[in-house]
Chain A
Amino acid sequence: MQRIGVFVCWCGTNIAGTVDVVKVAQTLANEPGVVFSADYQYMCSQAGQDMIKEAVKKHKLTGLVICSCSPRMHEATFRKTAAAAGLNPYMVEIANIREQCSWVHKEMPIGTEKAIILGKAAVAKVNLNAPLTPGESPVTKRALVIGGGIAGIQTALDIADAGFPVDIVEKLPTIGGKMAQLDKTFPTLDCAACILTPKMVDAGQHEKIRIFSYSEVTDIGGFVGNFHVTIKKKARYVREDLCTGCGLCTEKCPQKKVPNEFNLGMDTRRAIYIPFAQAVPKIAAIDEDYCTMLKTGKCGVCAKVCTAGAIDYKQQDEYITVDYGAIVAATGYNPISMDKFDEFAYSQSKDVITSLEFERLTNAAGPTAGKLLRPSDGKHPHTIVFVQCVGSRCSGADKGKEYCSKICCMYTAKHAMLTRDKYPDTDVYVFYIDVRTPGKNFDEFYRRAVEEYGVHYIKGMVGKVTPDGDKLVVQASDLLAGKQMKIDADLVVLAAAIEPDKSARPLATLLTASMDTNDFFTEAHPKLRPVESPTAGVFLSGTCQGPKDIPETVSQAGAAASKVIGLLAKDKLMGNPCVAHSDEMMCNGCSSCEKVCPYGAITYADKEYRMPDRTTKVRRVAVVNEAVCQGCGCCTVACPSGAMDLKGFASAQIMAEVDAICK
């Protein structure tokens, strides 16, 4: 039998104004198990807490009921008080007689009666409380960053600088991501490569950072602090330990007709290649879809020219398993396909391009060596039309995305400005719905494009692009002039919406991390925990969480890193003790609980039991991983036998509360 102390708080007049606290304390004193009952003006004050501690000692209390404000307010406070008095902190229950009683009822008799019932329910529950101890688990002091773009690089660097080892897994042969493909960056117009490549080099040379390039995560087990991750290192047919990155092979390879994905297919590369000059690691890879040697067994030029002997046509995919304490998703984005927007004639004309393609066309390392030339005929375009919001802000799931892609207004202003700067003889039109430039120095930047560089911003949307001879007839609305206009353009640039990388969805499944309907990772709280996934130990960096520009990505990457550092700095993790547990003798092993668990916290084990008839039997029983369980209790209802119960919210406890309320 418990020895329960009841403490009724006045909360000044907040409670005492509508609840007769003395009567509540007196009435509850007669409840079963209650050996002490008192009221006080402010239970949460130091004096109030001291009163509780003294009563615990004097009356040898084993459980506490605090009738006060919401447990969401002071449950933690009173648990600490209990612990300070030598009680298990989970022997405390709160009766919420402020937010859910005195503040919502006006009359003293009614408020008092309800407060008594709420108090009785809490007493009934405490009678069945048991001391709970949070589980402990050790922390593997190594982090995994999935994705090697600017987000992943920054997160990895920050974690590594704090002294923890980090691995980056990147699916392409080099890190760098989308930023490596950009020309200049808004609003300062520094060259992307100039600010990115030093970071890439830092990451490549950092003693705490390992880069698994051309690799993918194929399996994730374990839980916060103790993840077990399988990484597939795809065969690149070049030995990483031997390749010096001299690039001779990439010049001699006879297969020249491979579309160069780094330049978005606007030029070609060889079958053996290094994606770009500043690649990290600077190691060649063979594209098995195009390599003549791998396909037919005849060629071998690269092996012949490689003085380091790094070419290995027999290389196989390699799987390695590494343990991590924390995982950061930094899988990034891609522009959406323009297939469903052919009113802009993207598939009909080479001179209709996306903004990312435009970046490559203006980049010195791009297919035109930085000269702005039309893909169709290599001529200099004199009239360029930029179309904003292509596929962004669309309702209905069949076409485009509902959200604003956030970066297009700024990069389009940048493209327009740079074009006018380099080629003043070019007319530049930007069709916009709204120009959205919240950000430091962003609107100023956009205004400069208009005022200093003479970019024609027209409010309205393009309705149709018609290729006609070597022109593109752009038919559009000019809403402010109230007319439909036609422009004979030489080049049309579409600001395609961005979407999460396709690898994010399967990764979320491996991580049991949640995603929204657009396949962006969901954060644990949109405002207060924006870089954490609801799944413990999983953090979010960059555009995999939502559209972001570079400054935002970098700051979020740092924030994710600081969360990871905070986790890895701990030697042990304390869990939430209110977790599910299974009574193995009653468990049927039917898997119902496992199926509803959103965290994958339930597994099954075959265990040997002595049966009542003295024989032994191997039975399949559910085992809850307390470090992973978050305590929702869904499994307890899925379980038909009642073997599964939830600590702190046990079925018997809840039913005792029901009984107390209904009596």
Chain B
Amino acid sequence: MQVNEGFKPTIVAFCCNWCSYAGADLAGNNRLNYPAEVKIIRVPCSCRVNPMFILRAFQRGADGVIICGCHPGDCHYTSGNYYTRRRMSLLFSMLDYLGIERERTRLEWVSAAEGAKFAATMNDFVEQVTKLGENKRLEDLRCKQ
């Protein structure tokens, strides 16, 4: 397995405002480290994440995209994350079908109380994407300098 030492992936994390973004804040409050490659975009709910955003991220050079939302049943908007789950199940399966590495996408449930889970998830995801190396299968060459 390639280790890709020195490779710093670009990771986009979409976090819902009510659970996962607060979970990320809690990780900060507790000073739990995770790689700086992770950049968080705040969305009201994981169901706001359009597959287009994910593809856009890959287009512009992201090496991994992770979506975090409230645990099923705990959605601030009662059902948003259930729709997210269906959308992402189908989208991720489709990306895999096209031969895009399945390890580059992930959906995780992180509650506002799970700062530690947030940090651990990000550590794990960054490690996983680092192993894969640069995203070559879904990139827009024009976006590379």
Assess whether A634 is in contact with B80, with CB atoms less than 8 Å apart.
Answer: yes
Residue from A106, A649, A655 within 8 A of B44 (CB atoms): A649
Q: State the CA gap A25–B10 with chains docked (Å).
A: 23
Contact residues in A for B41 (Cβ distance below 8 Å): 121, 654, 657-658, 661
Report the minimum CB–CB distance from B3 to chain A (whole Å).
20
Contacts from A to B (Cβ < 8 Å): 70-72, 96, 98-101, 103-106, 110-111, 113-114, 117-118, 121, 514, 522, 534, 578, 596, 598, 630-634, 636-638, 646, 649, 651, 654-655, 657-659, 661-663
Assess whether B48 is in contact with A99, with CB atoms less than 8 Å apart.
Answer: no
Q: State the CA gap A534–B45 with chains docked (Å).
A: 15
Contact residues in A for B27 (Cβ distance below 8 Å): 99, 104
Given contacts A655-B56, A661-B39, is CB(A104)–CB(B44) below 8 Å?
no
Assess whether B53 is in contact with A100, with CB atoms less than 8 Å apart.
Answer: no
Given contacts A100-B40, A632-B45, A634-B77, is CB(A662)–CB(B25) below 8 Å?
no
Which has the most chain B C-beta neighbours within 10 Å: A113, A630, A633? A633
Contacts from B to A (Cβ < 8 Å): 10, 12, 17, 21-22, 24-29, 31-34, 36, 39-45, 47-53, 56-57, 60-62, 76-80, 83, 87, 119, 143
Assess whether A534 is in contact with B78, with CB atoms less than 8 Å apart.
Answer: yes
Contact residues in A for B25 (Cβ distance below 8 Å): 70, 72, 96, 99-100
Q: Which 7 interchain pairs have the tightest Cβ spacing?
A: A99-B28, A633-B48, A662-B60, A632-B77, A103-B28, A634-B47, A99-B25
Report the minimum CB–CB distance from A617 to chain B (whole Å).
29
Assess whether B44 is in contact with A631, with CB atoms less than 8 Å apart.
Answer: yes
Main DSSP-derived SS at the A contact region: helix
Q: State the CA gap A630–B48 with chains docked (Å).
A: 12
Report the minimum CB–CB distance from A420 to chain B (whole Å).
45
Closest B-chain residue to A14, C-beta based? Answer: B28
Assess whether B83 is in contact with A98, with CB atoms less than 8 Å apart.
Answer: no
Assess whether A658 is in contact with B36, with CB atoms less than 8 Å apart.
Answer: no
Given contacts A100-B25, A636-B48, is CB(A630)–CB(B77) below 8 Å?
yes
Given contacts A598-B78, A654-B53, A662-B12, is CB(A100)–CB(B24) below 8 Å?
yes
Report the minimum CB–CB distance from B130 to chain A (whole Å).
15
Q: State the CA gap A71–B22 with chains docked (Å).
A: 10
Assess whether A596 is in contact with B83, with CB atoms less than 8 Å apart.
Answer: yes
Q: State the CA gap A655–B43 with chains docked (Å).
A: 12
Assess whether A105 is in contact with B36, with CB atoms less than 8 Å apart.
Answer: yes
Report the minimum CB–CB distance from B48 to chain A (whole Å).
3
Contact residues in A for B51 (Cβ distance below 8 Å): 637
Q: State the CA gap A578–B43 with chains docked (Å).
A: 11
Assess whether B83 is in contact with A638, with CB atoms less than 8 Å apart.
Answer: yes
Contact residues in A for B76 (Cβ distance below 8 Å): 534, 632
Which has the most chain A C-beta neighbours within 10 Å: B10, B29, B33, B45? B45
Closest A-chain residue to B14, C-beta based? Answer: A654
Assess whether A637 is in contact with B28, with CB atoms less than 8 Å apart.
Answer: no
Q: State the CA gap A632–B75 with chains docked (Å).
A: 10
Residue from A118, A598, A659 within 8 A of B77 (CB atoms): A598
Residue from B17, B60, B83 within 8 A of A659 (CB atoms): B60
Given contacts A96-B40, A637-B87, is CB(A514)–CB(B78) below 8 Å?
yes
Q: State the CA gap A166–B50 with chains docked (Å).
A: 44
Q: State the CA gap A124–B114 with chains docked (Å).
A: 30
Contact residues in A for B50 (Cβ distance below 8 Å): 636-637, 651, 654
Assess whether B83 is in contact with A661, with CB atoms less than 8 Å apart.
Answer: no
Q: State the CA gap A631–B40 with chains docked (Å).
A: 20
Given contacts A118-B39, A598-B80, A637-B50, is CB(A661)–CB(B10) below 8 Å?
yes
Contact residues in A for B12 (Cβ distance below 8 Å): 658, 661-662
Assess whether A637 is in contact with B29, with CB atoms less than 8 Å apart.
Answer: no
Assess whether A662 is in contact with B21, with CB atoms less than 8 Å apart.
Answer: no
Assess whether A632 is in contact with B40, with CB atoms less than 8 Å apart.
Answer: no
30 A-B Cβ contacts within 8 A? A99-B25, A99-B27, A99-B28, A100-B40, A104-B28, A104-B31, A105-B33, A106-B33, A114-B36, A121-B39, A514-B78, A522-B78, A534-B77, A534-B78, A630-B77, A631-B44, A632-B76, A633-B43, A634-B47, A636-B50, A638-B83, A649-B43, A654-B50, A658-B12, A658-B53, A661-B57, A661-B62, A662-B10, A662-B12, A662-B57
Given contacts A633-B47, A649-B48, is CB(A110)–CB(B36) below 8 Å?
yes
Contact residues in A for B60 (Cβ distance below 8 Å): 658-659, 662-663
Contact residues in A for B40 (Cβ distance below 8 Å): 96, 100
